[in-house]
Amino acid sequence: MNNHTHHKQNLIDEFQNNGFVILRNLVDNKKIKKLEDSIKAQILFHMNKHELNIEGDIFNQGIIQLNKIRKDKTKFDSVQVIYNLIRKLPELYNILGDSNVMDIVRILSRLKENQSPYIWESFCRIDPPKDSSFDLKWHQESFFTLPNSNSVQLWSPIINNVSINNTGTITLLKGSSKLGELKHYIIKLKNYIHEGIPDEEIDKINLEEINVELKPGDFLFFDEHAIHKTFHNQGDKVRFTMVANYSNPYSENFKFMSEQEVLMYHKLRTGNAKDKENESYIQSFTSKGGIKDFSNLIN
Ligand SMILES: O=C(O)CCC(=O)C(=O)O
Ligand SMILES: [Fe+2]
């Protein structure tokens, strides 16, 4: 393994004690550069579409300008399109399936050498500066993934380094994975609703907050019970981060469920699922998903 003098047992111990591990320079820079180039081509294409000036800092200025246009709902939303395209890029899959990444995930998930994890979800977040639209509250990933899949979460920047002051970053409560799963609630934010742990509960826990600083090539892996949130980007560059969830299909209670079934399962077990005011929010998921009856289409 590259520069990782990390012995297998040390890595497991660190992961168990802290709830996360950081591996620096885990993936070959050429692979990262290929993904960046592929993203750059998309940004250029969309800047051209909106007749924006395409000189200078394409990654940052391009996204910042396209994000401004996005606020005008009458205009074509290029950021949304770029976002959806990036998550399906072969260059992204190439990194998420990289053999060094797989080695680490296998160790942390206790998979055997011939067993592979299942990628529950993967995407690349794009967080432009000073835009709080999609800020997340404290949460654990076990409330968003396949139940009983003992998953490991990957979080890693591309293009720009991430730190609390420059781009905002992910913050974890050290040792929080040992607490097991905490109750989540449907939390309504200004622009956005998501399931999370109320701040008052976090104050009671009183664990050290770790703000991770990473550069492209560095990878954070955390336990599905590690409590985390991302801090708002107060800087002047865009935060680009790869996010993936590796679940373990060899765990005892593993049961495959569709995306909609999983969303529903978690929403229904939130602490305030039964509140009248959350009824329509939950209903909006039921109507889209669930097990559909196609019997009327047969014969
Ligand atoms: O980057 C983000 O804002 C999302 C981070 C997160 O919650 C995760 O990767 O699990
Ligand atoms: Fe998360």
Write down the pLDDT at residue 282.
Answer: 78
Write down the pLDDT at residue 56.
Answer: 87
Write down the pLDDT at residue 279.
Answer: 81
Pocket lining: 155 vs ligand 1, CB cutoff 6 Å: yes
Pocket lining: 162 vs ligand 1, CB cutoff 6 Å: no
Average pLDDT, the chain: 91
Give the ligand 1 atom nearest the CA of 222: 10
Give the ligand 1 atom nearest the CA of 230: 3
| 297 within some domain | no
| 44 within some domain | yes
Nearby residues for ligand 2 (ion, Cβ within 5 Å): 141
Pocket test for ligand 1, best of 22, 123, 125 (most atoms within 8 A of CB): 125
Q: Containing domain of residue 218, as a range?
A: 3-256
Write down the pLDDT at residue 288.
Answer: 46
Give the ligand 1 atom nearest the CA of 243: 9
Q: Using the mean position of ligand 1's atoms as its centre, give its distance from the Cα of residue 52 in Å.
A: 30
Q: What is the DSSP letter of 142?
A: G
CB 238 within 8 A of CB 59: yes
Pocket lining: 239 vs ligand 1, CB cutoff 6 Å: no
Pocket lining: 177 vs ligand 1, CB cutoff 6 Å: no
Helices 259-268, 279-288: inter-axial angle, 10-degree rounding: 160
* 170-173/209-211 β-pairing: antiparallel
Give the ligand 1 atom nearest the CA of 125: 1
pTM of the model: 0.92
Q: Using the mean position of ligand 1's atoms as its centre, give its distance from the Cα of residue 275 in Å.
A: 27
Q: What are the helix (H) ranges across 110-196?
A: none
Write down the pLDDT at residue 296.
Answer: 52
Instruction: Give the contacts of 84 (CB within 8 A, at least 6 positions apart).
Output: none
Residue whose CA lies nearest to ligand 1 atom number 10: 141
pLDDT digits (tens, 9 = 90+) for 131-166: 988 888 999 999 999 998 999 999 999 999 999 999
Write down the pLDDT at residue 144.
Answer: 93
| 277 within some domain | no
The count of other CB atoms within 10 Å of the CB of residue 90 is 9
| 292 within some domain | no
| 267 within some domain | no
| 275 within some domain | no
The amino acid sitting at 282 is I
Q: Which residue has the tokens 């990262």?
A: 32
Pocket test for ligand 1, best of 136, 140, 241 (most atoms within 8 A of CB): 136
Q: Is the dihedral of CA 282, 84, 139, 96 positive or negative?
A: positive
Write down the pLDDT at residue 189.
Answer: 79
CB 19 within 8 A of CB 209: no
Q: Considering its fold, how many domains does the chain have in total? A: 1
pLDDT digits (tens, 9 = 90+) for 75-100: 999 999 999 999 999 999 999 999 99
| 118 within some domain | yes
Intervals of the chain under pLDDT 50: 1-3, 288-294, 299
Which ligand is closest to the CA of 167, given by its number? 1
| 115 within some domain | yes
CATH code of the domain covering residue 87: 2.60.120.620
Which ligand is closest to the CA of 127, given by its number? 1
Q: Using the mean position of ligand 1's atoms as its centre, give its distance from the Cα of residue 71 in Å.
A: 23
Write down the pLDDT at residue 215.
Answer: 98
What's the per-residue H, E or C state across 179-207?
Answer: HCCCCCEEEECCCCEEEECCHHHHHHHCC
The alpha-carbon radius of gyration of the chain (Å, integer) is 20
The count of other CB atoms within 10 Å of the CB of residue 85 is 16
Write down the pLDDT at residue 156.
Answer: 98
Pocket lining: 243 vs ligand 1, CB cutoff 6 Å: yes
Q: Using the mean position of ligand 2's atoms as its centre, give its distance from the Cα of residue 197 in Å.
A: 12
Write down the pLDDT at residue 1.
Answer: 44
Write down the pLDDT at residue 292.
Answer: 44
Write down the pLDDT at residue 289.
Answer: 42
Write down the pLDDT at residue 280.
Answer: 79
Pocket test for ligand 1, best of 230, 233, 242, 245 (most atoms within 8 A of CB): 230
